[in-house]
Amino acid sequence: MSEEQAITRTGFVAIVGRPNVGKSTLLNRILGQKLSITSRKPQTTRHQILGIKTENGNQVVYVDTPGIHKNHDKAINRYMNKAATTAVKDVDLIVMIVDRMRWTDEDEMVLQAIKQQRAPVVLVVNKVDFVKEKDELLPYLQQLSGRHNFEQIVPLSAKTGHNVERLENLIESFLPESQYFYPEDQITDRSSRFLAAELVREKIMRQLGDELPYEMTVEIEEFTHDGRMAEISALILVERDSQKRIVIGDKGYRIKQIGIEARKDMEQMFDCKVMLNLWVKVKSNWSDDERALRSLGYDDQ
């Protein structure tokens, strides 16, 4: 093997933006598999999640972040904003995502946060497949270029994959020469327990839509895996009895559907049969209690 072939490049890339612009969808598309959960509800992502892609001598460590938002009412909202803003420190590149031709106050808030960082910034305009008047796109991209000295502006569709390869090639050009930080076959730094909890939470958010506010989280109480079968017990925490009734549904129908869908995704993710047990428990005011948040895994790690 020649010296040139032996060179490897590795770097950290933060994916940031306001809620619901498609950050997790983009990461899943790049990785070619589901890692970050998605739903139509804003603030689905609550934690920093590393997604690692190693290919052709390049290892890109993507940091998926919660959407930066204006609502600071509760401890969990402050936690999510902190998780997002700390992710942009000490990375090699920042990828800021916006939604089509909609620039909001929260987009401006994101931009002001990343302007304070030294890392170069690529702006991604996502969901361009929904833009009906295509001739309006180019003038809008030119308008965006006046907001900051972006390295490049890339219009794409994370959902369909349009132009994602172009973005990946651009990202790779910013990677410094370095040994890999992670084994070549590793795709995340998160544990199987964490991923299982996230899958249950995703199904609840998708099933219940606007019926259930954000005062819901999932804690894995038991996780055993013998290679052929995983036995998982998940506790769904809500803040009020009325929310508990919503999650369980009429005669237990809703929680049964949540379990069926979550188990299906878990079997694909863990590549084995899964036995999943779900319980619902009321824990008043957990989302505004910093000690409770820490005990549930909402920390700065």
Residues 6+ apart with CB under 8 A from 117: 88, 89, 91, 94
Please check if 246 is assigned to a binding site: no
Please check if 61 is assigned to a binding site: no
The SS3 of residue 3 is: helix
Q: Are 63 and 48 in contact (CB under 8 A)?
A: yes
Please check if 67 is assigned to a binding site: yes
Please check if 139 is assigned to a binding site: no
> How far apart (Å, rounded) are the C-alpha atoms in residues 269 and 24?
16
Residues 6+ apart with CB under 8 A from 182: 52, 54, 59, 61, 189
> How far apart (Å, rounded) are the C-alpha atoms in residues 238 and 81?
22
> How far apart (Å, rounded) are the C-alpha atoms in residues 208 and 214?
11
Please check if 86 is assigned to a binding site: no
Please check if 68 is assigned to a binding site: yes
Please check if 213 is assigned to a binding site: no
Q: Which tokens sit at 45?
A: 């992502």
Please check if 19 is assigned to a binding site: yes
Please check if 64 is assigned to a binding site: yes
Q: Which tokens sit at 158?
A: 């994370």
Please check if 17 is assigned to a binding site: yes
Please return the burial class of 98, using the count of CB atoms within 10 Å of its CB with bins 0-12, 13-18 and 19+: buried
Please check if 21 is assigned to a binding site: yes
Please check if 24 is assigned to a binding site: yes
Please check if 145 is assigned to a binding site: no
Please check if 284 is assigned to a binding site: no
Please check if 2 is assigned to a binding site: no
Binding site per annotation, positions for GTP: 17-24, 64-68, 126-129
Binding site per annotation, positions: 17-24, 64-68, 126-129
